[in-house]
Structure 1
Amino acid sequence: MTLTGLFVPLITPFDRAGALAQEALESLAHQVLQAGARGVVALGTTAEPSALTPEEREAVLTVLARVCRERDAPLIVGANTKEALRELADRPEVVAALALVPPFVRPGEEGVLAHFADLAATSPVPLIVYDVPERTGQRLSATALRRLAAVPGVIATKHAPGGIAADTVEFLAQPQGISVLGGDDVFIAPLLAMGAHGGILATAHVATEAFAALITAWHTGDLATARALGGPLSDLSAALLAEPNPSVIKAVLHAQGRIPAPDVRLPLINASPAAALDHIVKLKGFSVK
């Protein structure tokens, strides 16, 4: 299976009383798919999954599975343990699980490889390895990424190393054997230019159509469009990620009238007033509307 195009890791909207806003979540999913996203991600890190109750996580998954079934769109689900993966067995809409490189413990590359081989051996769905060393404390070399690509059941990586490093260049310089989905929103244009298959981009809640067009432009060789979109979308992403994700994104979605409240849950706090101002997304022609 090759995963290409734009996938939006959806936020979890709350209502003014702090409860899960299921109708707003459903509407967001329809909006981004209508605007050109290939699929959506449920319960990724942008969704604040650790702050949700088991009942809320189940409700999120049910809502997004229904939307993806109705629109014949692929659903990716954040799942990092064997138990969480087993719960996806009866969800035909789920095409893959987004599994984080083990955070904090820094098991080394051999440990990471053994971990994913063990998960993949029993998972009912293929795995996408989420490589984000800024959050996990574990950096993977190009060699380790290629070895992960050879693990049966691993079909993609969400590649978010924190910029364009030598290992990224080396990894993308030759066929990878799996899909590479950029996860560093600010750097998605150069990742696509080097051969990434698409992106899992939180900031594509805003200007979804433009992000989808950027990916299409690089894949079709429309360099004029790709270059025209790349810089402005990088600026937009930097603004939307100026404070801990997804606080600014939620503030903007609320300003757009797309979710009932801008609230995140602890340990996150809401975006500062300056970051939440509408003008922060009025960058290079992308405006709140």
Structure 2
Amino acid sequence: MKLTGVLVPLITPFDAEGGVAVEALERLAERVLRDGASGLVALGTTGEPGSLTAAEQQVVVEVATRVCREHGATLIVGGDGGDARLSLVPPFVRPGEAGVLEYFRQLESPVPLAIYHVPYRTGQALSARTLQQIAELPNVAGIKYAAGGIDDETMLFLSGDLPDDFAVLGGDDPFIAPMLALGAHGGILASAHLETGKFVAMVDAWRSGDLATGRRLGRELVGLSKALFAEPNPTVIKAVLHARGEIPTPDVRLPLLAAKMVEQMPVS
């Protein structure tokens, strides 16, 4: 399996009664795939999985699976199902780099792993060498790389000798253009709920060597990404999608609170 292009980590829309708005979720999944996204991520952080019941999680995965099959798209799931399993670097315990490597070496999964490296959430930094060792594991297909910026370890990792079938997907939306310039294969981008086609065009431009178009779209989209992450994700995204009439409410579940600055966001 090759992970490339723009994968959208789906929000979970809620209806006026507080339940999962299944029809809105399906319409949203359909729309981003029609607009060119290569796949979806279900039950990622953007989908608020920790606030969903097991039954609600199952519904989300079923909807995403059905839509992806209809479109021949890739599905990554933060749990069971899909073409790959989004697997977070063990958070909070900070097991050390050797512990992280061994954890993924022994993690059993019926589908390949897409590692989620996000040290500002997990508390566990990883060196370029450890990331390269993870990339060489036979059960690992790729990585969502969200280190909070571009640093020396990012440069060393992306310039290293990575397996041909291993995908690097940028996971920090404001930094996706420089990640693509350094050789990333695409991105898991919550911002691509909006302007999906432009994000797809930007990734395609960088991947095809059209640097002028890639730079232009990168400049256009970085402001959008920063605005969408000005408050805890996915509060602003949900508010804008609601203002555009794509989901029935902008509601999130605790510990998140509704976004406050949405009036400054474009809704056309």
The verdict on a shared fold, with TM-score over 0.5 as the criterion, is yes
Residue 170 of structure 2 is aligned to residue 170 of structure 1: no
CA deviations over 1:41-90 (Å, ceiling 9, x no partner): 000010000100000000111111111111111111012xxxxx4xx3xx
Contact map agreement 2:132 2:160 (CA 8 A) in 1:
no
Residue identity opposite 2:45 in structure 1: T
Residue 92 of structure 2 is aligned to residue 123 of structure 1: no
Q: Distance in 1 between matches of 2:96 and 2:221?
A: 34
Deviation at 1:231, TM superposition (A): 1.4
User: Any residues of structure 2 matched to 1:190-205 within 5 Å, and which?
Assistant: 190-205=178-193
User: Any residues of structure 2 matched to 1:1-289 within 5 Å, and which?
Assistant: 1-79=1-79, 85=80, 88=81, 94-119=82-107, 122-177=108-163, 178-272=166-260, 275-277=261-263, 279-281=264-266, 288-289=267-268
- Runs of 4+ in structure 1 deviating by more than 4 angstroms, as ranges, are none
Q: Distance in 1 between matches of 2:160 and 2:125?
A: 20
Provide the secondary structure at the position in 1 that maps to 2:220.
helix
Match of 1:91 in 2: none
Deviation at 1:2, TM superposition (A): 2.0
Q: Distance in 1 between matches of 2:73 and 2:214?
A: 25
CA deviations over 1:148-181 (Å, ceiling 9, x no partner): 0111110100000000010000111133221000
Q: Distance in 1 between matches of 2:66 and 2:36?
A: 18
Contact map agreement 2:7 2:187 (CA 8 A) in 1:
yes
Contact map agreement 2:170 2:179 (CA 8 A) in 1:
yes
Q: Distance in 2 between matches of 1:243 and 1:7?
A: 22
Q: Distance in 2 between matches of 1:3 and 1:36?
A: 14
Deviation at 1:188, TM superposition (A): 0.1
Gaps in structure 1 of 5+ consecutive residues: 80-84, 89-93, 282-287
Residue identity opposite 1:175 in structure 2: D
Match of 1:82 in 2: none
Gaps in structure 2 of 5+ consecutive residues: none
Deviation at 1:135, TM superposition (A): 0.3
Deviation at 1:280, TM superposition (A): 2.1
Q: Distance in 1 between matches of 2:200 and 2:175?
A: 15
Q: Distance in 2 between matches of 1:134 and 1:232?
A: 26
Contact map agreement 2:9 2:46 (CA 8 A) in 1:
yes
CA deviations over 1:24-57 (Å, ceiling 9, x no partner): 0000000000001000000001000010000000
Q: Distance in 1 between matches of 2:13 and 2:50?
A: 14
Q: Distance in 2 between matches of 1:22 and 1:117?
A: 36
Provide the secondary structure at the position in 2 that maps to 1:14.
coil
Contact map agreement 2:136 2:162 (CA 8 A) in 1:
no
Q: Distance in 2 between matches of 1:247 and 1:161?
A: 21
Residue identity opposite 1:138 in structure 2: Q
Identity of aligned residues (%): 59
Q: Distance in 2 between matches of 1:7 and 1:264?
A: 22
Aligned CA-pair RMSD: 0.9
Q: Distance in 2 between matches of 1:154 and 1:245?
A: 27
Q: Distance in 1 between matches of 2:210 and 2:188?
A: 21
